[in-house]
Amino acid sequence: MKIAVMMGGISPERNVSLNSGKAVFNALKERGHDVTAHDPSRGAACMLDIDTLEIPSTPPTPEELASFSTKKLLECASSNCLDGVDVVFSVLHGFAGEDGMMQALLEARGIKYTGSKVLASALAMDKVMSKIMLLAAGVPTPEWTTVRATHEITDDLLKEIRADFRLGMVVKPNDQGSTVGMTIVKSGNLDDIENAIRLALQYSSVALIENYIEGRELTVAVLGSEALPIVEIIPDGGFYDYEHKYTKGMSEYMCPAEMDEEVAAFVQQLAVTSHKVLGCSGYSRVDFRLDEENHPWCLEVNTLPGMTATSLVPKAAAAAGIEFADLCERIIELS
């Protein structure tokens, strides 16, 4: 099969995507497929040489992100680099890759691709819209509010936010992943709240402020319409930020997570419900916090989760007896 692995892109998660793409490329190559690597940020010259690819360990700088253009994505999708491709295996994360934009371009070109379709991708990427959908389906999600880039951030606004989230808050961009631009604020200090909001607004036009849930960090991969074993994430100090996610040894992972069987089954059921209510297809990863009373709270649904050596979907698949290359081929079959 001729497979184009789409990786990199123009979001702050670009370098994570490159690592995911390299892992998928090598796995499919070993299975005998005709595999090519493509970075849409390069436009029509999107083809990459995996053997010489150097991937930074830190996110792109704001200057680097500002240099990218969505026009390059159109050039890539319409170029002859994708001629004759049976399927695009997309591991693009974040803006212009996971949000339905590239999916729409590939559909216009008539090329099949892995993961969710345009609408589901857009809904899941917009955290506020997905939370509204989850609540409508009876899936518990933390209380929230938003601050938009057009809002004036006054002391009165900050005091109102502090009053609403007395036990702590998570402040993050509404449409980014990999904890880019995210801050946990427990101090109640107005300067800390303002700084967290302004950081989030550097990466999105909307800052999402959620109630902080004290408890365990869980994630559930959904493959097809079935939940894989639950992964518990235990970061080595601090919280599960970019460094803890993508640096080996910075976090411990328990899979299957040790918990009451009924609680585990309920969390898995919520994951499948979340996957379905947003219209996801193929696979996804649903993130939860489990509070001290064993109540699960859904944080978000990731339609193109990471596929690196430290990523969570491959860990869950391995616990279910599915090797990484088999997982990649299964995702293609589901597409």
Q: Catalytic residue positions?
A: 13, 178, 246, 285, 287, 300, 302, 306
Q: Are residues 220 and 290 in the same domain?
A: yes
Does 21 score more than 50 pLDDT? yes
For the residues 119-147, what does the mean pLDDT come to? 97
Pairing verdict, β 206-211 and 169-173: antiparallel
pLDDT at 143: 97
The enclosing domain of 202 has a CATH number of: 3.30.1490.20
**pLDDT, tens digit, for every residue of 50-98?**
999 999 988 888 889 889 999 999 999 999 999 999 999 999 999 999 9
Does 285 score more than 90 pLDDT? yes
Whole-number mean pLDDT of the chain? 93
pLDDT at 237: 62
> Of 164, 186, 211, which residue is a domain's last?
211
- Total tally of structural domains belonging to the chain: 3
Q: Are residues 164 and 77 in the same domain?
A: no
The enclosing domain of 104 has a CATH number of: 3.40.50.20
Q: Are residues 132 and 260 in the same domain?
A: yes
Which residue range is the domain that position 10 belongs to?
2-113
User: Is residue 326 situated within a structural domain?
Assistant: yes
For the residues 178-187, what does the mean pLDDT come to? 85
Q: Are residues 92 and 205 in the same domain?
A: no
- Please write down the HEC assignment for all residues of the chain: CEEEEECCCCCCCHHHHHHHHHHHHHHHHHCCCEEEEECHHHHHHCEECHHHCCCCCCCCCHHHHHCCCCHHHHHHHHCHHHCCCCEEEECCCCCCCCCCHHHHHHHHHCCCECCCCHHHHHHHHCHHHHHHHHHHCCCCCCCEEEEECCCCCCHHHHHHHHHHCCCCEEEEECCCCCCCCCEEECCCCHHHHHHHHHHHHCCCCEEEEEECCCEEEEEEEEECCEECCCEEEEECCCCCCHHHHHCCCCEEEECCCCCCHHHHHHHHHHHHHHHHHCCCCCEEEEEEEEECCCCEEEEEEECCCCCCCCCHHHHHHHHCCCCHHHHHHHHHHHC
**pLDDT, tens digit, for every residue of 222-281?**
999 999 999 999 977 665 444 444 455 567 999 999 999 999 999 999 999 999 999 999
Q: Are residues 129 and 151 in the same domain?
A: no
User: Is residue 118 situated within a structural domain?
Assistant: no
Q: Are residues 281 and 313 in the same domain?
A: yes
Q: Are residues 133 and 246 in the same domain?
A: yes
User: Is residue 120 situated within a structural domain?
Assistant: no
